[in-house]
Structure 1
Amino acid sequence: MNLLKKHWWKIACVIILFYTIIGGLLVEVPRLNILNETIRNLFFHVPMWFGMVLMLFASVIYSIMYLKTSNPRHDDWAVELANSGIAFGILGILTGMWWARFTWGQFWSADPKQNASAIALLIYFGYLLLRSALPDDEKRGRISAVFNIFAFATYIPLIYILPRMVNSLHPGAEGNPAFSAYDYDNDLKKVFYIAIIGWTLLGVWVAQLRVRMRRIEYKTLFD
């Protein structure tokens, strides 16, 4: 019973992801012009981006906590949540490219949303490179924490503000309404909102495993 209480959210994560995958493939979807069956990617591409944003935001919170406390555990959580967010960002771009191939005619059309997403990920790659270039633990933690805050502050305008100010093929941009303007029916909502929870929990789960691996490495190093 204690084990169930401790790991309930992991069990929920597995159940939700099974529900997302099975429901995403079998649920009846509206027949929208151009999108057609590719709208099923809504259950994967978009929730992954939501999960990415939540994990990167949590990473920034831990970076701020590290700057205040110098607790290495906060730094561990900051970098591993960022790693999970970056992984989801890569998956988001790949699933977005697949979607673009069927709806826009090519994998990469240099759309403002695509370009901004790539630039944002490159900034976070810089965060990881910065960490690997600093041998001193405390200096690495503090400098990378500041860079992490900068990266997230840059990320939000790049992903959500600038692409909406220009013409874009991507839904949600100027002159191109998001899915809420279409027949976003209850069957889609039943899977979509739950999928956000499932993918986010998966990212946190992976980050937790990575943090535990780091602590095992620390114990091995100092024993």
Structure 2
Amino acid sequence: MYIDPKNPFRTDTAAKTPGLLARATLSRALDIVIAALALAFFLPLFAVTAIAIKLTDPGPVLFGHRRIGLGGKSFRCWKFRSMVVDAEARLANILANDPEAAREWAEQQKLTDDPRVTRLGNFLRRSSLDELPQLWNVLVGEMSIVGPRPIVETEAARYGPHFALYCLVRPGITGLWQISGRSDIHYFERVLLDVRYVSSRTTWRDLRIIVLTVPSVLAARGSR
């Protein structure tokens, strides 16, 4: 699929992208190296976080949520659990009884003040520590270090004809959305950033995004 860099919403399936296989191979090799080193480095932090979750809120340490990955295949995206155990039931109740929350959820797929998030979960989200288990998703080939946001099945329709573009690459732990405001930007802008990323991705741009992710995470910009 060809993507016009001047107009990333226009695609031409008849054209070809040169070097796609070589770039994908290099990207995968970097993913494996970075994920393996990061898992080893953060292992003590994994242990501390797991203990903290167990001590502050009964329930599992990890939460696996179904997301759409490469080729449109579903996979379980892992996070440290930051919500109450019955989060899905509570969300249904909130959306049924709070019109403002229902409107925000319909627009952003997020709630600004989400009552389902635990006190520790709020810290994990703002520090992005909740996403560390996704390094395992990277290691086994379900995600990349850098890529589009991992979306759920219900979000696919909001991508329209660009959903096929999303499925060309693995979703990432970080990406253009991470360094551009995350939850502070409108959903349509998130889709546009994903399209732009896939249409212009290079190894050097991936490395630049990784570097820029560090100050973004430290400043907790758009994290909730």
TM-score bracket, normalised by the shorter chain, equals under 0.3
The structure with the greater share of residues assigned to strand is 2
Q: Which has the higher helix share?
A: 1
Which is bigger in relative contact order (C-alpha 8 A, separation at least 6)?
A: 1
Q: Normalising by structure 2, what TM-score?
A: 0.25
Bigger Cα Rg? 1
- TM-score when scaled to structure 1? 0.25
